[in-house]
Amino acid sequence: MVRFGKKVLAATLSASMVLAMTACGSGSSSKTTEKAAETTAAAESAKEITAEAKEETAEETAGAVMPKASGEKLVIGTLANWVGLPAWYAYAEGYYEEVGLDVEIVNFGSQGTLVNEAMAADECDIAVSGMASVYALSTGMYKYIGDGCLTISGETLYGRPDDAIYKAGADANGVYGSADALKDAVILGPMNTTAQMNAIAYMQYFGIDANSFTFTNLDYSSALAAFESGQGNLIAVNPTYAAILAADGYVQVSDFTQVSPQDIIDAVYCQNEVAEKRPEDVELFLYCYYKACQDMLNNQDNRVAVAYKWYVDEGLDYKEQDVIDECSLKSYFTLDTVDSGDYLLGSFMNYAAEFLLTNEKVTEDDVTNVKASIDNSFITSIKKWASAE
């Protein structure tokens, strides 16, 4: 399930209010009559407002129609995991073909930095990638056009059960470690990714800044091999490698959700030129992408089937149960929920940029470029014509 914390709270409060109003029926007859009259008046007012809103929506969407594809190939650079799954799901289910899009999907394993490089070389038109996207956006060369996968949990740090860090025990939040135990700690993982961000957030949780510990840059598979050979004190991993570590007897010391107030949200961004010259293709891609997200949330069995086949075809060492477990760790926005409520478009990229600035990993100009890249005009347009379909 997608964690819309404040929305869920608001819904709960509304239900509580209804129950409270029902329970208050034991009061005096006059007060009950007054409250009924007030409620009736409020209901009538709400009906009028709803009717007006519907009229306004109808006026806004009048004439809004699905655009036509340009006919040019649209190359999507992504990762062969939960990050890129909606883009692939839409391809596998024929959604692109239905709207006339000619789409090619290029996978870059689990390395978002390679997606950045491909975009910089103009080899891809659109990227569906992870936290490394913030570095691409900092160049000012791209438009951030959509929010991707929403991490519920699973971005973790693992250690050894006999290490002083784990032996320090867990605090009230379930986070293992202490400032003393973490002195001179070495953490393994891929740089410029959520893994590094997780490592920094974890160390800061214990009052240790980003420049006071060693983060050794290794891709996930190399980091795993190095860690299992005895190198490093901790390893920062995603769910795929966390499952391997747990099976091999290593212990989780922290999850990103325990040490950070911000949800991890993956990115969908495109070349500035593509956004300018082929906006129809961008909209159609996003429409298919969020249609896939909706379908995956509605039909977990098909999500698992499509994901498992794709992962295995891409050479990943996955079991079907791994994909089933992934469903509880990774969720997605839909056309209804993206850029709405507490999740305005690009919120995580803005957070990541500010976080990296605080830790001297990017500059003020980089942050300005990231913020300027966020463009919700495509999502806004799609919502209008999709509702009129």
Using pLDDT thresholds of 50, 70 and 90, give the confidence band for residue 59. low
> Residue 179: its pLDDT value, please?
96
Q: Compute CA distances 81 → 84, 87, 222, 247, 267, whole Å.
A: 6, 11, 18, 20, 14
Kindly report, residue by residue over 177-233, the tens digit of the pLDDT: 999 999 999 999 999 889 999 999 999 999 999 889 999 999 999 999 999 999 999
Contacts (Cβ under 8 Å, ≥6 apart) of 68: 100, 280
Contact 307, 341 (CB under 8 A): no
Rounded to whole angstroms, how far apart are CA atoms 137 and 115? 12
pTM, 2 dp = 0.80
Residue, of 112 and 119, whose pLDDT is higher:
119
Comparing CA positions, the residue from 241, 148, 161 lying closest to residue 198 is: 241
User: Which stretch of 14-28, 143-157, 294-308, 358-372 has the lowest confidence by average pLDDT?
Assistant: 14-28
Does position 47 have pLDDT exceeding 50, yes or no?
A: no
Q: What tens digit of pLDDT does each residue of 230-255 get?
A: 999 999 999 989 999 999 999 999 99
The predicted pLDDT at position 240 comes to 87
**DSSP code, position 161:** T
pLDDT at 305 over 90: yes
- Average pLDDT of the chain is 86
Bridging pattern class, strands 142-151 and 330-332: antiparallel
pLDDT at 23 exceeding the cut of 80? no
Q: What is the pLDDT of residues 160-189, one digit of tens each?
A: 999 999 999 999 999 999 999 999 999 999
- Between CA 315 and CA 261 the distance in angstroms is 35
Which of 205-213's residues contact partners 24+ apart within 8 Å by CB, and which partners?
Answer: 205/175, 205/254, 205/259, 206/177, 206/178, 206/179, 206/182, 207/179, 208/179, 208/182, 209/359, 210/359, 210/360, 210/361, 211/359, 211/360, 213/182, 213/184, 213/185, 213/186, 213/187
Question: Percent of the chain beyond pLDDT 90?
Answer: 76
pLDDT for 111 equals: 79
Please report the pLDDT score of residue 61 as a whole number.
55
**Secondary structure E strands in the chain:** 73-78, 102-107, 126-129, 142-151, 156-159, 186-189, 214-217, 234-237, 251-255, 265-271, 330-332
Handedness of CA 175, 178, 179, 181 (dihedral sign): negative
- Residue 124: how many CA atoms within 13 Å on its side-chain side? 25
Q: Is 80's pLDDT higher than 80?
A: yes
Average pLDDT over residues 360-364: 93
- Helix H segments across 206-319? 220-228, 239-247, 256-259, 272-277, 279-298, 300-313
Q: How confident is the model at residue 12 (pLDDT cuts 50, 70, 90)?
A: very low
Is 294's pLDDT higher than 90? yes
More confident residue, 35 or 129: 129
Q: Which domains does the chain have, with CATH numbers?
A: 74-151+264-387 (3.40.190.10), 156-258 (3.40.190.10)
Q: Is the pLDDT of residue 98 over 90?
A: yes
Report helix angle 279-298 to 377-388, nearest 10.
70
